[in-house]
Amino acid sequence: EKLDETEVLDALKKHFKFDSFKSDLQRDAILHIMKKETDVLVSMPTGSGKSLCYQLPAVLNPGKITIVFSPLLALIKDQIDHLSILKIKAASLNSASLNSKTLKAERESLLSDLKSMSPVTKLLYITPEQAITNTFKDLFHNLVKFNKVAYIVVDEAHCVSEWGHDFRPDYLRLGDLRKHNDIPFIALTATAGVEVTKDIVSSLKLGKNHKVFKTSSFRSNLYYDVFFQNTLDNLYEHLKDFICKKLNSEYETDVPKEDRSCGIIYCRTREQTEVLSHKLNMLGVKSMCYHAGLKNSTRLECQESWQNGDYPVICATVSFGMGVDKATVRFVIHWGVPKDPASFYQESGRAGRDGKPSHCRIYYNRSDSKAVEFLLSQELAKAKDRESRKAKAKNSIRSFTKMVEYCETANECRHRLFSNHFGDPPITCEINCDICMNKKEVEDMINNFHLKCIQ
Ligand code: ADP
Ligand code: MG
Ligand code: ZN
């Protein structure tokens, strides 16, 4: 039978207590997945509600089970707890989480439910390690034979890719589950670059006609530009003026301090964070530094007081930012070159989470990029003939070269670095980068930069 949108909405309210979809993309993905016509890849940022894209269709498939692969027991536990509050029957097959006697009994009853004519379990969560055990293989074979599998879901699907940040070799075997059945595959990942996306499609053997539901990577409230450290007469004054303009402190005296404007300056080395923070304090801009060399407690304190608004500027290495979700970051500066387009997108993207205009700037420096190039070439040399490591090192070099080009040329809209990287249609922002706003000026600056480099 076919379900129309109002029925799906009713189910959303009834089972998940939500009044509406979180986004059009979430709705479109769910309605398409319900039809079971093709495999699907959902690529949306963390927090955009990817789980619902398979959980709602799972609930709307009576008597059938949706199998979900997830990389970590902790993630699985969160999901199951959440679903059990909603009274949706979900379970995990992992024996590691099942050790006591009562849990053994639970496991027995789970297995017998899964083998019954009309199982009540809607979602079965499994780690990829578990997928290669005989218990699972037998169970899967049995479920497929009696046509009891609604979907096969691969959450955090970027784990199939060596180019991703958390490669899990066992994920590569999941594509084998496609043999001898036509159960729709649903792969989910946070916005992934083109290489990672390609790996997901090929490793999971997504059908040729698979459909992609993907958030655009374009952040229209972010302005991108590049300055050159060696062409500025007074580098630190330039930095200070920029910061003061962005922080607008005189207008914010009535604003609670945790909601005041603030900024992040990313540096490549610990030493740079310390030097920069010191310079800024000398110039009257309150700032602190943050890097892995500090004691854990100091680091935590530093992060917390920045988050509370005790001081506006944090000079940090890229280890800063995981789990930081501050809405009022008005600027992110890279002091030197970011590592690659993906990291640059993520780091600079911490600006403007509240949707208000925010600024992402690189203060480029040739000697810094030479230092990185040297480290990367050493990495390649160290790889010798270990192919995978060599390929990885070459990939890092390629990605870094893109960043150097980004800084040292004025060929295209700054946002195009990201639309290229994420495989979005090529964008021209018109008003949100220095190149679109004033190409000539950027070209002059670059020429000046090259002249100064030769001198
Ligand atoms: P992701 O996997 O994309 O990181 P989650 O599936 O964990 O995101 O969802 C993030 C949050 O959004 C959760 O708290 C979830 O309950 C909520 N959410 C999902 N869909 C909706 C919706 N339609 N309306 C309101 N909140 C939603
Ligand atoms: Mg998720
Ligand atoms: Zn532009």
**pLDDT higher than 70, residue 36:** yes
Spacing, Cα 23 to ligand 1 middle (Å): 10
Write the pLDDT tens digit of every residue in 224-238: 999 999 999 999 999
Asked if residue 94 has pLDDT above 80, the reply is: no
Rounded average pLDDT over 422-448 = 96
State percent of the chain over pLDDT 70.
97
Which of 230, 219, 412 is closest to 332 using CA atoms?
219
- Phi/psi at 321 (nearest 5 deg)? 130, -30
Which of 96-100, 205-209, 426-430 is the least confident region? 96-100
Is 0.95 surpassed by the pTM of this model? no
Which is the closest atom of ligand 1 to the Cα of 18?
24
Check the CA dihedral 132-133-139-141 and report its sign. Answer: positive
Q: Which residue is closest in CA terms to ligand 1's atom 19?
A: 49
Q: Is 44 touching ligand 1 by the criterion CB < 6 Å?
A: yes
* pLDDT computed for residue 99 by the predictor: 53
Residue 237 has a CB neighbour count (10 Å cut-off) of: 11
Query: Counting Cβ atoms within 10 Å, is residue 426 exposed (0-12), middle (13-18) or buried (19+)?
Result: exposed
Gap from CA of 209 to ligand 2 centroid (Å): 24
- For residue 102, the model assigns a pLDDT of 64
Alpha-carbon torsion angle 80, 82, 85, 91, nearest 10 = -10
Instruction: Give the atom of ligand 1 at the shortest distance from the alpha carbon of 188.
Output: 2
Mean pLDDT of the chain: 93
Nearest to 333, CA basis, from 355, 309, 350: 350
What confidence score (pLDDT) does residue 96 get? 45
Å from CA of 421 to ligand 1 middle: 26
CB atoms within 10 A of CB 286: 13
Task: Supply the residue whose CA is at minimum distance from atom 20 of ligand 1.
Answer: 49
Does 108 or 183 have the greater pLDDT score?
183
User: Does residue 95 surpass a pLDDT of 80?
Assistant: no
pLDDT at 101: 63
pLDDT in tens, 299-309: 999 999 999 99
- What was the pLDDT predicted at 88? 96
2, pLDDT greater than 70 = no
Q: Which residue has the tokens 């009696």?
A: 146
pLDDT of res. 105: 81
Which of 143-159 are b and which e, b meaning 16 or more Cβ less than 10 Å from the residue's Cβ?
Answer: bbeeebbbbbbbbbbbb
> pLDDT tens digit string along 105-132?
888 889 899 999 889 999 999 999 888 8
CA of 437 to the centre of ligand 1 (A): 37
Name the 3-class secondary structure at 232: coil
